[in-house]
Amino acid sequence: MPVVKVTPKRHGDARGWFAETYQRERFRGLGVDAEFVQDNHSMSAAAGTLRGIHFQAPPHAQAKLVRCLKGRIWDVAVDLRRGSPTYGKWVGAELTAERGEQLYIPVGFGHGFVTLEPDTEVGYKASDFYAPQADGGIIWNDPDLAIDWRLPGDTPLLSDKDMTLPTLAQWESPFDFDGRPLQPLED
C-alpha cells in the first residue's frame, strides 16, 4: 500500500463549501483498502509543536488518514518495513485547513508532523484502536533519517515521550515489506 496524498474536491457557493473527506470506494480506487475504526483529533497551541515519529506495532498496527482541520502542518511518513529498499526513507507534505489535503499513511510507516501555525488542529482516521502496549516510535531528529522538518523555529516543542524515543539503528522493526517501495508523493 503506498503513501498517498489526496485533495478532496470542494464544492463552494455563497454559503461556503462542502467536501467528501472520505468515501470508501473512491479511496479503494486509489489503492487505500484500510477499514478505519477510530478518529483522533489533536490541538497544538504553539507553532513548532512536533508530534512523532509514531506507530503501533502488530497485531495492532495502524494505517492513518491525516488532515489538518485548522492551520498548517508539515506531515511526514517514514518507511519502517524491514527488507524494503526504501527502509528509513521518508516523504513529506504540507497539509492545510485552507486547501484540505490529506495524507494516507499505511501500516509499516512511522508518522509525525510539526505545526507551522499556532492553534493548529489535526484529525486522523486509524485502522485499529489505540493499544498502549503496541505504541512505539523513532526519535524525530535521527541523523540516519535526516528529515527536513521545516521547523518554524530552531527547536520544536516535544512531549517527554518524544524526546526519549530510540533511533532507527536502536530499534528492530516488526513490519514486513509488502513488495511496494516508498514512492515520491504526487501533488
Query: Residues with catalytic annotation?
Result: 54, 124
For cell 518507511, what's the residue? 79
Q: Tell me how crowded residue 84 is: count the other CB atoms within 10 A of its CB.
A: 21
| DSSP labels, 154-176 | SS-B--HHHHSPPPGGG----EE
Which residues 6+ apart lie within 8 Å of 136 measured at CB?
Answer: 54, 55, 56, 57, 171
Residue type present at position 145: L
Q: How far is Cα 76 from Cα 60, in angstroms, rounded to an integer?
A: 21
Which residues 6+ apart lie within 8 Å of 174 measured at CB?
Answer: 57, 58, 61
Smallest Cα–Cα separation from 75: which of 112, 117, 104, 125?
Answer: 112
Q: How far is Cα 21 from Cα 14, in angstroms, rounded to an integer?
A: 20
